[in-house]
Amino acid sequence: MKIIITIFTIFFFTNIAKAEDFDSYVNKLKEHPAIESVLENSKKYKNLASSEMGLPDPQLIVGVDNVPVSDPSFNQFLPTAKVYGFRQQIPRYSLRKAKSNKQLVLSKKQRLIANYSLNRLKAYFISSLYEYDKVRKLEDIFKKQIRYYLELENNLRGRLESGKSVYGRLSEMDVEKTEIEQKLNDLQVEKTQIEEEFINLVGEIPNIELPDVKNNNLPQNIEDIYPIVIAKKDIESAKQGVKAAKAEFGPNYGVQALYKDREAGANFAGDDWFSIQATVSIPLWYYWNQKPKLQAANHERSQALYSHDNIKRLWTKQMRSLFSERNFAKANITLLENQKESMKKIISSAKRSYESGGTNLESVLDARIDKLTVEAQLAMQYSRYAKLSSEFNSHLIMENENAQNSN
């Protein structure tokens, strides 16, 4: 019995350990419907690429030749015969290859989108973890502040009873305490929203350590980010479309073979025939058929080039803006950390002064409330920094991802 309990305990806690791991949640994100949907699209285009290289279905031919209407038979006249054969159309290889390559480019584009979508989901997940941590810290901070306000209220009412004029401070304190209580109520709404986001992302509310957030720099080549690389795939796809349109001017081929079965009769000893024909298409109507297709393909390529240029400009601005915001958030953290240390010194000084009878308790409690306000600002800045950093990083293509995308 002890062995069974021990095994169960090991199994139970091992599974908990696995569940409480950031990488395990990343694996769950890989199975998110938003990712699976795009990957299925990639497989679709890959299969279409294979189908483009295939030939059209052959046609079987079964019939009769030159059967007399007045006396249907196969042994009276020499031209009368039963016919068996097949016909096979062979589209030119260059056209099939261009169409296949276009589908392969679209498949790779979908894989890029899947990788990008996973990065975005990871960014949402990391951001939500830090937001959730911020909410819990703020709850604790605001509750401490309310306790200090209650302690301050008791102190002020005691001074009021002793004849001190503290009505103004009591009134201010009531307003400040009410604002804190409103913030606590707002935090409950925010907490619920974050929990719902967790359910959407990984199906549960995680309880793990906060993951490290990398402080990446702007890439030397701004085009090494997902939105621009994905736009490049549209250019590649359009180029293959142009190749396919040019290939339309070339000939298509075909072959057919017929076997004619002739029965023996009074006027003919009987023998069979066969015939083989090859066909080649001529782009006689190119002005109304192939030429407009080529012009349309060139317009598609131009549109893809302009779209890429526009996306590059927009994302250059966006990435620089995110980079700047993130760095300012980091600088704010440093300032608030220094201010927090300064507040500790102020509290110590106020406490010594109060204990020596130089000031009243109000100065100590106000200093503690102010320090908690700084801590609240610090928690919000840490969350903001994590959100901006994960957002910035989600658009970058790392070296290992580059290797995957090139396959």
Enumerate the domain spans of the chain: 26-55+91-249+286-406
**Digits of tens for pLDDT over the chain (407 positions)?**
445 444 444 444 444 434 568 999 999 999 999 999 999 999 999 999 999 999 999 999 998 887 887 777 776 676 778 899 999 999 999 999 999 999 999 999 999 999 999 999 999 999 999 999 999 999 999 999 999 888 887 776 765 655 565 566 667 778 888 899 999 999 999 999 999 999 999 999 999 999 999 999 998 888 889 999 999 999 999 999 999 999 999 899 999 999 988 777 666 666 788 899 999 999 888 889 989 999 999 999 999 999 999 999 999 999 999 999 999 999 999 999 999 999 999 888 888 888 787 777 778 888 888 999 999 999 999 999 999 999 999 999 975 555 455 55
Sign of the Cα torsion 279, 281, 282, 284 reads positive
Q: Write down the pLDDT at residue 140.
A: 95
DSSP state of 250: S
Domain 26-55+91-249+286-406 has CATH 2.30.33.40: no
Q: Write down the pLDDT at residue 13.
A: 44
Residue that the structure tokens 């075909």 belong to: 254
Q: Write down the pLDDT at residue 404.
A: 55
Which of 180, 300, 170 minimizes the C-alpha distance to 242?
300
β-strand partners of 235: none
Q: Write down the pLDDT at residue 407.
A: 52
Q: Write down the pLDDT at residue 266.
A: 63
Q: Write down the pLDDT at residue 65.
A: 81
Angle between helix axes 33-52 and 93-161 (nearest 10 degrees) is 170
Q: How is the chain split among helix, strand and coil, in percent rounded to 5?
A: 70, 10, 20
DSSP state of 225: B
Q: Other CB atoms closer than 10 Å to residue 315's CB: what's the count?
A: 19
Q: Write down the pLDDT at residue 262.
A: 77
Which of 88, 101, 9 minimizes the C-alpha distance to 46?
101
